Amino acid sequence: MPDVALPTGNLHTNLPARRQPDEIFEALLTRPGMRIERIVSTGQVTPADEWYDQDTDEWVLLVSGAACLRIDGEGKDRALAPGDWIHLPARCRHRVTWTQADPPTVWLAVHFGG
């Protein structure tokens, strides 16, 4: 195989040193029907009157930090710690109700289907 530049990276590099006004979304790999992204949260939440309601499935892993996620129809938030993951099928309404700000919360999200 010839020498080629293969994409590489580290989910823990280039993290913000302080709270940011918005979450940071970084596409790591995009292919037809699939997108992998790193999301960095520093205290952000989904506004109380809004829900994510996506056309595609999302598999998400909490890499570091901590967060709480609310699934529409459930009576309480789900607390997430490093290593926790969840599969959110397309049209599964959900919202982020809390994220740890310091150190930042790092997510790995895989969007597929649709």
> What's residue 71's pLDDT?
98
| Residue 51 near residue 94, CB atoms below 8 Å | yes
N-terminal to C-terminal alpha carbon distance within the chain: 34
> What's residue 59's pLDDT?
98
Does 34 have pLDDT greater than 80?
Answer: yes
> What's residue 30's pLDDT?
96
| Residue 30 near residue 110, CB atoms below 8 Å | no
Q: Is 77 left (phi over 0), alpha (psi -120 to 50) or beta?
A: beta
| Residue 111 near residue 87, CB atoms below 8 Å | no
Write down the CATH number for the domain with range 24-112.
Answer: 2.60.120.10
Q: Where are the domains of the chain?
A: 24-112
User: CA separation (Å) from 72 to 50, 88, 98?
Assistant: 11, 11, 15
Point out which residues pair with 64 in neighbouring strands. Answer: 106
Does 1 have pLDDT greater than 70?
Answer: no
Point out which residues pair with 37 in neighbouring strands. Answer: 27, 109
What band does 7 get if pLDDT is binned at 50, 70 and 90?
A: confident
The tens digit of pLDDT for each residue in 49-96 reads: 999 999 999 999 999 999 999 999 999 999 999 999 999 999 999 999
Note if the bond before 103 is cis, omega within 30 degrees.
yes
